[in-house]
Amino acid sequence: MLRYVYRRLASLLVTLFVASLVVFVVIEVVPGDPASYMLGMNAQPDTVAALRSELGLDQSKPARYFHWVTGMLQGDFGQSYTYRTPVADMVSDRLWISLPLALFALLLSIVIAFPAGIWAASRRGGLADTTVMGFTQLGIAIPNFWFAMLLVLFFAIKMRWFSAGGFAGWDEGFFAALKSLTLPAVALALPQAAILTRVMRSSLLDVLGEDFMRTARAKGLSQRQALLRHALRNALIPVLTIIGLQFSFLIAGAIIIENVFFLPGLGRLIFQSIAQRDLIVVESVVMLLVFAVVMVTFLVDLAYAWVDPRLRHRA
Amino acid sequence: MKLRSIVPGAVLILIVLIAALVSYVWTPFDVTTLDIRNKLQTPSAEHVFGTDHFGRDILSMLMVGARTSIAVALVAVGIGMGVGVPLGLLAAARRSSWVDEVVMRGNDLVFAFPALLIAIMITAVFGAGAVNAIIAIGIFNIPVFARLTRGAALSLWTREFILAARVAGKGALRISVEHVLPNITNILIVQGTIQFSLGILAEAGLSYVGLGAQPPIPSWGRMLADSQTLITLAPHLALFPGLAIVFTVLGLNLLGDGLRDWLDPRLRRER
């Protein structure tokens, strides 16, 4: 097990290193000098030069890359060109919206997908199965931002149960904050729930064909008991992998959904920063998200190897 | 049994394709002329799907918008196949060599970036537009096809007919092109359909946040973005572009499912 962990850790570090190189190089390609952009057209050359050295722009590219990476490792994500505040502060404020949103959506998709997938699998080929599968086809085809608009139209504008956008803030109380995240989370969860339902169903169907399931029935368990006690636990392994993968989609999806609901999360931060050419923020936030995705994949792999010993030797 | 899904899928896609093609020669109204007096009309006999805030005919815009969606997604699939398939073939032919290693690690890398992040970075640097949207979506398609091709090709390389070709003195390149490629065309077509539908969704998402095709080129995603501020006033503006996306994606997914079962009888079990 330990050897497997080391190997995965090594490949994780390589991925992160190359990813940071790619992000740095891509952002460096941008023409124009942030310092003169910040100071405007009429700035004195020596003021620009002073700001350049303050921001570290006068250093060589390798030195700046090194500075950026070592800074990030210590929690220093650089200074926003536009707001002159540490990027880390801007990120940590918004993280408390994006992260709960993604987790809320993940939870919702699990709560929807597990019963739906189990139900469809246990009624294989029947009406329930066909209905559930039909809905999953729709769920995959509906763009989540459009679904979000429909939710706003119905639940916020027509029924007035929720606000159409904005974030109450965690200071307003847990449930007020959660309420303003509900519609975004539902919108975000829909396609993921549809995918997860399909995985749950097909994974259960695979297990249902195994010999031990016949044995379970033969020793007198009802179909329902056998399903819940034996099939479900075995079917969960691939489902867990997909849940891990979905985290990266949820993060990407959150970027768009935050725009629909005017939530001041990481997604809004990225788009604002692009509009203001505040590329150090884009650079650091993108890297942070890549880090989150890679870490989650890593942890899921470990959990997977821990549950299923066969995998430790294969990879 | 899934074979049935080919027909409805193909019908949906044909409708969208025909609408897109017809828009080159005819649309009910011109999409670039503004007719402010007739703005925000609800569906009527004259404007079947109503008009937008500039008085433009929604149906005409949807038809022209279909061109954008299809073109972006199709070229993105082309990039993915054009680069990914040769890479996958190469990796399989030179198994466990440094080529294989580079291809696979490159795959891991692209998978670490959610597709939208790549798109955002590209547009942040090079500016928003249809071409950059194509590149952004296309890049993410490359590892999908490379990985699929490599996996399928590897299992073919162990087969007797490939061995026979090697005994006959054919090189790795010729075998890849003459024997491996024709045998994986089926799965490539199926995956192409799936990536096509994902591309439609991605293009819609990108143009919704303003990173896709720029005005005055109509695109479904931006029609939805425009409709958002008017959603209390004219909900029908938000309805039709969304339905067009769902229609197209659903059609492609049904077609893909059906094609997979039809082209690969081994998979023709109920899943």
The Cα A246–Cα A243 span in angstroms is 5
The Cα B29–Cα B16 span in angstroms is 18
Mean pLDDT over A3-21 rounds to: 85
Q: Which residues contact A255 (CB under 8 A, 6 or more apart)?
A: A266, A267, A270, A271, B116, B117, B120, B209
DSSP A227-259: IIIIIHHHHHHHHHHHHHHHHHHHHHHHHHHHH
B160 touches chain A (CB under 8 A): no
Mean pLDDT over A290-308 rounds to: 80
Residue B74 has a pLDDT of 94
Residue A70 has a pLDDT of 87
**Which residues in chain B are closer than 8 Å to A11, comparing Cβ atoms?**
105, 108
* Residue in chain A lying closest to B209 (CA): A256
| Domain ranges within chain B, ordered by starting residue | 6-16+50-270
Contact A19 B113 (CB under 8 A): yes
Question: Which residue from B105, B124, B231 is facing A149, i.e. has the nearest CB?
Answer: B231
B113 touches chain A (CB under 8 A): yes
DSSP A208-228: HTSHHHHHHHHTT--HHHHII
Q: Report, in this order, helix, strand and coil percent for chain A, each rounded to 5.
A: 80, 0, 20
- Range A208-221 burial, b when 16+ CB lie within 10 A, else e: beeeebeebeeeeb
What three-state secondary structure class fits B51? strand
What three-state secondary structure class fits A198? helix
Average pLDDT, chain B: 85
Class (C level, CATH) for B6-16+50-270: mainly alpha
Residue B271 has a pLDDT of 40
The Cα B49–Cα B270 span in angstroms is 39
Residue A273 has a pLDDT of 84
Q: Which residues contact A171 (CB under 8 A, 6 or more apart)?
A: none
Contact A255 B116 (CB under 8 A): yes
Contact A153 B235 (CB under 8 A): yes
- Homologous superfamily of the A89-314 domain (CATH): MetI-like (1.10.3720.10)
Complex ipTM: 0.85
B267 touches chain A (CB under 8 A): no
The whole-angstrom distance between A255's CA and the closest CA on chain B is 9
Question: Residue A207: which pLDDT band, with cuts at 50, 70 and 90?
Answer: confident
Q: What is the largest CA-CA distance in chain A?
A: 87
Tell me the per-residue pLDDT of B1-39, one tens digit each, with 9 for 90 and over.
455 788 889 999 999 999 999 888 888 878 777 777 777
Tell me the per-residue pLDDT of B134-145, one tens digit each, with 9 for 90 and over.
888 898 889 889
Residue B104 has a pLDDT of 79
B152 touches chain A (CB under 8 A): no
**Which residues in chain A are closer than 8 Å to B245, comparing Cβ atoms?**
141-143, 146
Tell me the per-residue pLDDT of A130-158, one tens digit each, with 9 for 90 and over.
899 999 999 999 999 999 999 988 888 88
Average pLDDT, chain A: 83
* Residue in chain B lying closest to A295 (CA): B112
The Cα B146–Cα A266 span in angstroms is 32
Residue A146 has a pLDDT of 93
The Cα B13–Cα A140 span in angstroms is 16
DSSP structure class, residue A58: T
Size of interface A-B (CB pairs under 8 A): 118
Query: What is the number of alpha carbons within 13 Å of residue A244 lying toward its C-beta?
Result: 19
- Residue A165, pLDDT above cutoff 90: no
Residue B265 has a pLDDT of 61
> Would the CA dihedral through A178, A182, A183, A187 be positive or negative?
positive
Extract the residue ranges of chain B whose pLDDT is less than 50. 1, 268-271
Higher pLDDT residue, B244 or A280?
B244
Which of the residues B4, B104, B125 would you substitute to probe the A interface, choosing the one with the greatest number of A C-beta atoms within 10 Å? B125
The Cα B29–Cα A164 span in angstroms is 34
Residue B197 has a pLDDT of 93
Residue B3 has a pLDDT of 59
Residue A313 has a pLDDT of 62
Strand partners, B57: B51
Q: Which amino acid is at B71?
A: A
Residue A32 has a pLDDT of 65
B55: left (phi over 0), alpha (psi -120 to 50) or beta: left
Question: Which residue from A152, A289, A294 is facing B231, i.e. has the nearest CB?
Answer: A152
Pair A268, A259: CB distance under 8 Å:
yes
The whole-angstrom distance between A67's CA and the closest CA on chain B is 21
The Cα B138–Cα B202 span in angstroms is 11
- Residue A21, pLDDT above cutoff 50: yes
| Domain ranges within chain A, ordered by starting residue | 35-76, 89-314
The whole-angstrom distance between B271's CA and the closest CA on chain A is 6
